[in-house]
Amino acid sequence: MVAEKKKEKERLFHLVKRNDIEPWKKWIIRIASVIIAALLAGGIFAVVAKDSAAFGGFFKEMWKGSFGTQRLAYVFTSDWAILMCISLAVTPAFKMRFWNIGAEGQTLAGALGAAIILYYLGGKIVEPVVILFMFAAALFMGMLWAVIPAIFKAIWGTNETLFTLMMNYVAIQLTNFFVNLWTRGTQTTMGNLGNGTIHGILGIPYIQNAVIVAIVTIIIFIYLRYFKHGYELEVVGESQNTAKYIGINVKKVIIRTMLLSGVICGLAGFLLVGGSPTPTINAELVAGRGFTAILVSWLSKFGPLAMIFVTAFVVFLQTGAKQGSNTYHIGASSAYSDIIVGLFFLIIIASEFFLNYRIKFRKKEGK
């Protein structure tokens, strides 16, 4: 064997799947990745702003942009609520390993449902009834958008990732259709639809979304942890074989779970329309939050409680980066917030690797 040694191509290291990792190591890796991302974000900012002081100033601006004034803080809460709501919506499906990337469309479909009711019934009957109908229509539309792919997945195994992705654009075009119908093609955004808002509670503006979403958070938390349904969908996600072994009807669970996902997306859509002081609808209403929510849900490891903080962090990055780029006049502020958010996501996703695998360096064999 000695003679053949040189023939072997020894790899310098190989990967081993980790079974276990101490919690403190987990947190060190995660925090380190956030710090690296923050340093990079600040660095890019300083370079672009051509001002080395901007490196520190950037973070100050981010804070100011999110919580600087009372109004900003209210807007922050409202944004948090919407993103949180959609993240909660996709979570049960992901836990079931159903790759629903159609939250964008499901939410928009919900918003459209609410807008349709508001347009045709608003002002004709009393407001509470209108709101009730809006609510029902939003949930129904969101549900419809989620259940269609689920049924095909359950019965024929149609690829749900691609199906839900396409459903997004059907919803967008449908929204464009109605907006054009109502404005006779003069505008891409409806004007204020008025008369059908639940805006403000106890005189505090923007807060109603957060209140409703907080309730939903608790419900989802309980649903996933203490409901039989939550338990079943987890078993289906972990192993369909086991699910069949204990007699779970896998198809039923898939459809039921997506139904729930869709309903919550529909709720988010309702909040987007009815929760705004000036209810309106356009195809950009969801603004990519359906996709961001997927990342949020995944980074929170599908835990509703962790999601509260991850969502807050992401919204903070988005609004903060916008504010920062405005202050330093580097233009295209929403694009800059995309960069920052994308950067953080990529680095945190990459850090997952170190949580799941261990790199083992080949020790020199002392023969």
Place of tokens 């007699």: 247
Residue 14 in the binding site for other proteins (CB under 8 A): yes
- Mask 60-89, x = binds other proteins (CB under 8 A)? ------------------------------
CB of 333 to other proteins, least distance (A): 9
**Residue whose CB is less far from other proteins, 167 or 267:** 167
Check if the beta carbon of residue 233 is closer than 8 Å to that of residue 257: yes
Residue 231 in the binding site for other proteins (CB under 8 A): yes
Residue 184 in the binding site for other proteins (CB under 8 A): yes
Residue 365 in the binding site for other proteins (CB under 8 A): no
Q: Which two tokens stand for residue 366?
A: 């002392």
Residue 294 in the binding site for other proteins (CB under 8 A): yes
Q: Which run of H or of E encompasses 17?
A: strand 13-17
Query: Could you give the CA distance from residue 281 to residue 189 in angstroms, rounded to a whole number?
Result: 6
Q: Is 32 helix (H, G, I), strand (E, B) or coil?
A: helix
Residue 312 in the binding site for other proteins (CB under 8 A): no
Q: Which two tokens stand for residue 246?
A: 């204990």
Residue 47 in the binding site for other proteins (CB under 8 A): no
Query: Could you give the CA distance from residue 309 to residue 365 in angstroms, rounded to a whole number?
Result: 47
Compute how many residues bind other proteins; rule: CB under 8 A: 81
Residue 343 in the binding site for other proteins (CB under 8 A): yes
- The pair phi, psi for residue 326, each rounded to 5°, is -70, -45
Q: Which of 52, 69, 159, 192 binds other proteins (CB under 8 A)?
A: 159
CB of 238 to other proteins, least distance (A): 5
Kindly identify the residues of this chain, within the stretch 121-150, that bind other proteins according to CB under 8 A. Answer: none
CB of 261 to other proteins, least distance (A): 15
Q: Which of 55, 74, 140, 178 binds other proteins (CB under 8 A)?
A: 178
Q: Which two tokens stand for residue 280?
A: 């309106």
Beta-bridge mates of residue 358: 16
Residue 234 in the binding site for other proteins (CB under 8 A): yes
Q: Which of 28, 35, 53, 173 binds other proteins (CB under 8 A)?
A: 173
Kindly identify the residues of this chain, within the stretch 272-291, that bind other proteins according to CB under 8 A. Answer: 288, 291
DSSP 8-state code for residue 276? S
Q: Is 174 helix (H, G, I), strand (E, B) or coil?
A: helix
Stretch that binds other proteins, among 53-61, 157-165, 204-212, 262-270 (CB under 8 A): 157-165
- 3-state per-residue secondary structure call for 65-122: HHHCCHHHHHHHHHHHHHHHHHHHHHHHHHHCCCCCCCHHHHHHHHHHHHHHHHHHHE
Check if the beta carbon of residue 185 is closer than 8 Å to that of residue 177: no
Beta-bridge mates of residue 15: 359
**Residue whose CB is less far from other proteins, 192 or 242:** 242
Q: Cα–Cα distances in Å, from 216 out to 37, 41, 134, 266? A: 31, 33, 18, 13
Q: Cα–Cα distances in Å, from 230 out to 28, 52, 223, 362? A: 31, 51, 6, 43
Stretch that binds other proteins, among 55-63, 139-147, 274-282, 352-360 (CB under 8 A): 352-360
Q: Which of 166, 214, 215, 218 binds other proteins (CB under 8 A)?
A: 166
Query: Could you give the CA distance from residue 64 to residue 314 in angstroms, rounded to a whole number?
Result: 15
Residue 174 in the binding site for other proteins (CB under 8 A): yes
CB of 49 to other proteins, least distance (A): 12
Q: Which of 80, 99, 133, 221 binds other proteins (CB under 8 A)?
A: 99
Q: Which of 22, 124, 246, 365 binds other proteins (CB under 8 A)?
A: 246
**Residue whose CB is less far from other proteins, 203 or 247:** 247
